[in-house]
């Protein structure tokens, strides 16, 4: 049975803001920024920088080059396809430009140019760029890349007239994108542009207010205000026992999940989650530390404890760290429970948990003593901060990991739905004048 080719709909453009127009046309003849080698667009989420960056990169590469290679890079191939390739296909369709997308080999041919897709997931990713000669690059969420990949990507763009387009949300003020690129923009011939949500004219005030409610603490400063600020102190500073701690009583939960952080030397944690009236409750916890008890347990012993912990409840899935290979194999062999391997991106998971806590969509029964204890000792690693990294201290974090697995795997945000809502109202293709806004004011 042959798979039906998915029809790509044209992108529904909204009018571009003045700042988006500047990004769109900075490279055009007559612009005071036309000679810049690199552009970095940072700032708040949903500020319109990514779409403007894709449009600018496509127009520039197709206007100035034929028969050249280009780099498209993201933290993972999956995130690149979601954030860049999908919108790029819609944009090309809206513009009436034909393209060939090779999904298996991860490249796109547009005109006579070839655009190769790369992940920047770890230090070894830069090896994939070796030997490539490129005329330009588009790096999505570059603050998530290893520095050696960014250095290699810049070095690969050696064709005369090459330019590199980067976008990102802010991170630590010690991050290399901030210290080595943004702070040295003048000496390195970089155009730096900062965006906030008001630079995306397609966002209603209602949508902007919703995003502002989603974050607090360091994530509000970074993802809403668009600031490069340091993560410090308690990670979940929005956690409030008065708001989030509830009495352990019988509730008519609609469905159950268990999230598990499995340890051999460290503690093993099972967290039982139940949905009630649109919110998720931590119903109960299992917490066993072989180090504290003076006796380690085997996989069969932990499985027996898991069965007793769940009892007669019908659990939809056990969400567990993929590294717990032996325990996963045992659970599957027994056949009683469905296993979901957890999505284990630490910073993304922390951000999503913080958002659910801020919206008070996660509540915790007061019998979960160890979970409460960890909430008040889960802190940022100061040594990692000085290296420009955001990492929690790996002490007393087992319940915190299990919460993160549940939220990031089962309750993860549906970004595609957000994009659909945000861009669903516009019609047709807006072709703004290169150097003027709607009232005739200069873009530059």
In the three-class reduction of DSSP (H, G, I as helix; E, B as strand; rest coil), residue 335 is classed as coil
Q: Are 199 and 331 in contact (CB under 8 A)?
A: no
Q: What letter would DSSP give residue 207?
A: H
Q: Tens digit of pLDDT per residue, the chain (444 long)?
A: 344 456 888 888 889 999 999 999 999 999 999 999 999 999 999 999 999 999 999 999 999 999 999 999 999 999 999 999 999 999 999 999 999 999 999 999 999 999 999 999 999 999 999 999 999 999 999 999 999 999 999 999 999 999 999 999 998 888 999 999 999 999 999 999 999 999 999 999 999 988 888 887 888 889 999 999 888 888 998 999 999 999 999 999 999 999 999 987 789 999 999 999 999 999 999 999 877 777 889 999 999 999 999 999 999 999 999 899 999 999 999 999 999 999 988 989 999 999 899 989 999 999 999 999 999 889 999 888 888 888 899 888 999 999 999 999 999 743 334 334 433 443 333 343 333 344 433 343
Q: Domains in the chain, start-ordered, CATH in brackets?
A: 18-203 (3.40.50.300), 241-416 (3.30.420.280)
Question: Which residue in this structure is represented by tokens 């003045």?
Answer: 18
Q: Are 226 and 196 in contact (CB under 8 A)?
A: yes
Point out which residues pair with 287 in neighbouring strands: 269
The string of DSSP letters for 57-95 reads: HHHHHHHH-SS-EEEEEESSHHHHIIIIIHHHHHHHHHH
Q: Are 193 and 181 in contact (CB under 8 A)?
A: no
CA distance 177 to 172: 9
């Amino acid at each position: 049975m042959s798979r039906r080719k998915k029809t790509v709909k044209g992108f529904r453009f909204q009018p571009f803001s003045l700042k988006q127009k500047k990004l769109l046309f900075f490279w055009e003849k007559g612009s005071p920024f036309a000679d810049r080698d690199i552009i970095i667009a940072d700032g708040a989420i949903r500020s319109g920088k990514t779409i403007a960056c894709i449009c600018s990169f496509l127009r520039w590469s197709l206007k100035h080059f034929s028969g050249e290679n280009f780099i498209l890079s993201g933290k993972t191939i999956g995130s690149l396809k979601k954030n860049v390739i999908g919108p790029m296909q819609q944009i090309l369709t809206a513009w009436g430009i034909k393209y060939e997308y090779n999904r298996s080999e991860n490249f796109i041919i547009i005109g006579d140019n070839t655009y190769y897709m790369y992940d920047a997931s770890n230090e070894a990713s830069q090896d994939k760029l070796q030997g490539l000669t490129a005329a330009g690059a588009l790096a999505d969420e570059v603050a998530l890349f290893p520095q050696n990949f960014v250095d290699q990507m810049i070095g690969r763009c050696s064709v005369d007239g090459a330019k590199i387009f980067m976008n990102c949300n802010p991170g630590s003020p010690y991050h290399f994108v901030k210290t080595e690129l943004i702070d040295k923009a003048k000496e390195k011939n970089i155009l730096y542009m900062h965006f906030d949500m008001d630079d995306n004219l397609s966002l209603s005030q209602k949508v902007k207010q919703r995003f502002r409610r989603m974050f607090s603490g360091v994530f509000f400063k970074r993802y809403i205000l668009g600031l490069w600020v340091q993560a410090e102190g308690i990670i979940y500073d929005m956690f409030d026992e008065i708001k989030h701690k509830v009495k352990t009583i019988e509730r008519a939960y609609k469905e159950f999940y268990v999230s598990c952080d499995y340890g051999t030397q460290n503690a093993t944690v099972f967290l039982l989650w139940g949905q009630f009236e649109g919110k998720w409750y931590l119903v109960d916890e299992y917490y066993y530390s072989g180090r504290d008890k003076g006796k380690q347990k085997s996989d069969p012993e932990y499985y027996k404890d898991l069965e007793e912990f769940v009892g007669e409840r019908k659990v939809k899935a056990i969400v567990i760290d993929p590294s717990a290979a032996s325990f996963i194999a045992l659970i599957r062999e027994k056949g009683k429970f469905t296993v979901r391997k957890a999505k284990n991106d630490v910073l993304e998971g922390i951000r999503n948990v913080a958002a659910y806590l801020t919206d008070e969509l996660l509540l915790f029964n007061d019998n979960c003593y160890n979970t409460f204890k960890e909430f008040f000792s889960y802190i940022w690693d100061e040594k990692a901060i000085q290296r420009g990294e955001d990492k929690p201290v790996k002490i007393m974090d087992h319940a915190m990991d299990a919460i993160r697995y549940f939220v990031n795997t089962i309750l993860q945000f549906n970004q595609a739905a957000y994009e659909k809502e945000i861009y669903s109202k516009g019609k047709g293709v807006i072709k703004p004048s290169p150097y003027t806004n709607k009232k005739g004011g200069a873009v530059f």
